Amino acid sequence: MELLPIGGYFGFENNHFNSHVTERSHVESHRKLDLLNQPSSSNRRRYLFNSLGNALLIYLLNHSTYYRIHIPAYCCSSISKKLERYHIRFKFYNNEAGLALSHSFINNLDGGDLLVVANIFGVMDENLNQIIELSKNRGVHLVIDSAHSIAFEAQAQATLYSPRKFIGIPDGGILDTCQSLEIAVSNDKVHQVDLGHLSLRKAGRISEGYIRFLENEKKIEDAAPCAMSFLSRDIVTSFPIEQSIVQRLNNFSMLHTALYSYNDIFSNYHIPRLASPLYYPFLHREGKRIRDSLITMGVFCPVFWRGIETLPLSMYEKRLLNDCVLLPIDHRYGQNHMDLVIDYLRVLI
């Protein structure tokens, strides 16, 4: 079986990845998920946008005149740029070591504050659950950016998802909220998709497709708010998301078992209870060298986030930029792939 390359952008999904599922599953099953809809009995609703950034923008346009807005400095720069473009005022804050958000920071907020918290890499579930309770007690209006965890559910005022980070689709962002929106987008205005990178990756033309992928990312970042394309909705609806999450959790567990003692993000062997991590984040003092070496070996590890170097980052956040290696764990890969990554890392560490 051809194991390389590992990681990188998605191609069109074929929904068949049973051959990669680990025989000794660390996670036996996952609850049924409907990414696009809330049950009719719920007091929440899901709005479908062309990107998570635009979903957040529309939500904040509905609330920006009422709150002081706080967003993380260590986050995708497209969000702050989009807010600046629409003249929405905000303040940056910093995350502490271990990606946690300080409880004392939240205790200085009140009902006049809107706090955007990101589930960074999809590994902050435990800290976020504490933040939800603290925010509720303080009356803080809480918005969770769950771009990196498609299955994390929270009783916040709003939660945002990015299905295209988990599934091969050309566009898509989801806003889950209990709040009504006076400003919204109509299904009559949908995103015009570019399928080039998906087709090229599927055909094995990875380098050529990567150029198209970057072009599509830029188009989505610059696009005005509109509804998710119907093609993306169809792919999401038919995709076996529960099975893919089980595979992610299996892969995460395998990497963590082998690497936790070298990883400066996780302090012990304890595998955190996570809903759906995007990557296995491996923070090491030689992280940049390790990442560069893995890429030459055919293991593609992205850098989050380019373009934020000039923002007011803490020393820990600057270290994450330079030395955090984001190891692929998605549904395309199984135990043999993870064993290969572990073998490479044991040589490089």
* Total number of domains in the chain: 2
Mark whether 56 and 77 lie in a shared domain.
Answer: yes
User: Is position 275 within any domain?
Assistant: yes
Mark whether 129 and 141 lie in a shared domain.
Answer: yes
How far is the C-alpha of 161 from the C-alpha of 147, rounded, in Å?
Answer: 5
User: Is position 179 within any domain?
Assistant: yes
The amino acid sitting at 205 is: R
User: Is position 1 within any domain?
Assistant: no
Which H or E run contains 141? strand 141-145
What is the CATH classification number for the domain harbouring 330? 3.90.1150.10
Domain end (from 238, 261, 278): 238
Mark whether 104 and 222 lie in a shared domain.
Answer: yes
Position 190 scores a pLDDT of: 79
Position 39 scores a pLDDT of: 80
- 86 is written with which tokens? 């629409």
Positions in the chain short of pLDDT 70: 1, 15-31
Q: Are 304 and 148 in contact (CB under 8 A)?
A: no
**Any residues with CB less than 8 A from the CB of 315 and at least 6 apart, and which?**
none
What three-state secondary structure class fits 139? coil
Cα dist from 210 to 192, 218, 254, 285, 331, whole Å: 19, 12, 28, 29, 19
Mark whether 64 and 205 lie in a shared domain.
Answer: yes
Which H or E run contains 327? strand 324-328
Mark whether 25 and 155 lie in a shared domain.
Answer: no
Mark whether 234 and 247 lie in a shared domain.
Answer: no
Mark whether 200 and 313 lie in a shared domain.
Answer: no
327: β partners:
280
Position 329 scores a pLDDT of: 98
Domain housing 225: 45-238
Mark whether 218 and 251 lie in a shared domain.
Answer: no
Mark whether 138 and 252 lie in a shared domain.
Answer: no
Position 21 scores a pLDDT of: 52
User: Is position 304 within any domain?
Assistant: yes
pLDDT, tens only, 208-225: 999 999 999 999 989 999
User: Is position 37 within any domain?
Assistant: no
Mark whether 97 and 16 lie in a shared domain.
Answer: no
Nearest to 150 by CA among 110, 182, 128, 121: 121
DSSP state, 227? B
Mark whether 180 and 98 lie in a shared domain.
Answer: yes
What is the CATH classification number for the domain harbouring 108? 3.40.640.10
Domain end (from 238, 273, 308): 238
Torsion angles phi and psi, residue 345, rounded to 5: -65, -35
The amino acid sitting at 310 is: T
Q: How far apart are the first and last CA of the chain?
A: 26
